[in-house]
Amino acid sequence: MSHVVSPVRQPLIIGNKTYADITDDVCKQVEGKPTKTWMICFTIAVLTLAYGSYCLFYTWWEGIGVWGLNKTIGWAWDITNFVWWVGIGHAGTLISAILLLFRQKWRTSINRAAEAMTIFAVLCAASFILAHMGRPWLAHWALPLPNTYGSLWVNFNSPLVWDVFAISTYLTVSLVFWYLGMIPDLATIRDRAQNKVSKFAYGALSFGWNGSAKTWARYESVSLILAGLSTPLVLSVHTIVSFDFATSVIPGWHTTIFPPYFVAGAIFSGFAMVLTLMLITREVFNLKEYITINHVESMNKIIILTGSIVGVAYITEFFVAWYSGVPYESYAFVNRATGPYWWAYWSMMTCNVISPQLLWIRKIRTSVVATFILSIIVNIGMWFERFVIIATSLHRDYLPSSWAMFYPTMYDIGDYIFSFGLFFTLFLLFAKFLPVINMAEVKAILKSSSAPKVVEKKGAGVVSDRQTKPAFNKDADNI
């Protein structure tokens, strides 16, 4: 297998892999028995899910009165968690779609897991929509269905209805994108399957894929169009989520900066979560040769960009609140920074604006430990951002007699725990039973973007099949 190696770019796949090596490495965890680490993680995730399910069930049984909401703060953790999870769900489709359109080859090692993360995160977000409806058994009322009360339809002027369409379309299209991308790899697992159950299951799941040239050509065409459709979809979903706030008349919410600011924040938190998960996955499944420091650095660069956009947005909000000359608007922002929720505001500023700037230092953005810590800090910061926007804008309204504070109950916390349990249970099941790395796409970039294959020559020892060795290769081998 000959290599075409760029003299300027670092190889994306290291370890001198062949096509068969990629299949073996990725299929190893699908075909083998679950590891001890996986079993421990899965048990913790299921226990978390069980406790969270109890809290969610109790919320549904009793109604949302069990939450710490009051007449002033009618939305708090439920919407905070919803927006946070939707935001996390944005990096997957972004990696798949936008980076595909921009021909970024480094996406191939991480797109599958990121897309899975998207779907699970959107499911977690959906659980909060259902939870805060109070009567989840009437969730279908949010859809334009004919009903027994006459010609009564949903109000298409309401951003909450737009949300329903946006989130469900996003979930459906992401699911289709993810599954379609997985069909060729499922066929690979099917053709290697040893036992009857695997043969049947992966046979059914792989849709009879045989990798014919005609199918591949059409498949590429479909992938590219799906990417083209998903790109504006990603941007629209968080824009529409931001409309929930922006179309209202609450000081601190009613701002035109919200759509781009929410989208940047979503990409920011999404990439942070992808990093958290991928760093664990590469460690647990020993995929360091596929998810290299190169990948980590690329993602960190996106975090610096989006983190800085978010920082600029915070400052712009403040400036516009002052420049508008509206006293209520100015008060809302001064109150955020210096009022009773100052700690939430400054946690947000520290986590989202200050800490990602550390990634300008190359040593930090290429360090696995530092990246892991920073990715968690960013996610905490983004949760605080949503909490600050929602709770601090509501807790001081136009009537000082109704000013109040929000204190979460165990059910607020429990429902949040539920979403973590659900997310990690699904992610661990995915990581065990489905290929976490897109084998077909990694194979497709192997020649142009990987370390060269080492071939054995008679009497000459081990030599590379590449004639000249670029200077970077030394670093690449050390990673």
Partner 1 sequence: METSKKYLVGIYDDEDVLLKAVKKVRSSGVKIHECYTPFPIHGLDVALGHKRSRLPIAAFMFGLTGTTCAVLMISLMMGYDWPMIIGGKPFVPIPDLVPVSFELTVLFAALGMVATFLITNNLWPGKRPLMFDSRSTDNKFVMAVDLSKNKLAADEITSILKNFGATEVNTKQVEIK
- Rule CB under 8 A: which residues touch partner 1? 1-2, 18-20, 23, 144, 151-153, 155-157, 159, 161-162, 165-166, 169, 172-173, 176-177, 180, 183-184, 187-188, 190-192, 203-222, 225-226, 229-230, 232-233, 236, 240, 243, 439-441, 443-444, 447
Q: Which is nearer to partner 1, 137 or 149 (CB)?
A: 149
Cα(253)–Cα(444) distance, integer angstroms: 46
The label of the residue with tokens 């897109």 reads 438
Backbone φ, ψ for residue 3 (5° rounding): -115, 145
Cα(277)–Cα(436) distance, integer angstroms: 11
Cα(280)–Cα(44) distance, integer angstroms: 15
Q: Give Cα 159 to chain centroid, integer Å.
A: 23
Dihedral, CA of residue 192, residue 197, residue 200 and residue 202, to nearest 10: -50
Q: Which is nearer to partner 1, 50 or 222 (CB)?
A: 222
Provide the 3-class DSSP secondary structure of residue 457. strand
Q: Which is nearer to partner 1, 212 or 338 (CB)?
A: 212
* Residue 433 C-beta: closest distance to partner 1, Å: 16
Q: Which is nearer to partner 1, 214 or 363 (CB)?
A: 214
* Residue 2 C-beta: closest distance to partner 1, Å: 7
CB 20 within 8 A of CB 436: no
Q: Which amino acid is at 189?
A: I
* Residue 153 C-beta: closest distance to partner 1, Å: 4
> What is the DSSP-derived secondary structure letter of residue 109?
G
Angle 241-408-48 from CA coordinates, rounded to 5°: 85
* Residue 230 C-beta: closest distance to partner 1, Å: 8
* Residue 147 C-beta: closest distance to partner 1, Å: 11
* Residue 215 C-beta: closest distance to partner 1, Å: 5
* Residue 225 C-beta: closest distance to partner 1, Å: 5
Long-range contacts of 75-78 (CB under 8 A, 24+ apart): 75/132, 75/390, 75/394, 76/387, 76/390, 76/391, 76/394, 76/406, 76/408, 76/412, 77/387, 77/408, 77/412, 77/413, 77/415, 77/416, 78/128, 78/131, 78/132, 78/412, 78/415
Q: Which is nearer to partner 1, 186 or 344 (CB)?
A: 186
* Residue 178 C-beta: closest distance to partner 1, Å: 12
Q: Which amino acid is at 329?
A: E
Q: Which is nearer to partner 1, 169 or 367 (CB)?
A: 169
Q: Which is nearer to partner 1, 225 or 410 (CB)?
A: 225
Q: Which is nearer to partner 1, 134 or 144 (CB)?
A: 144
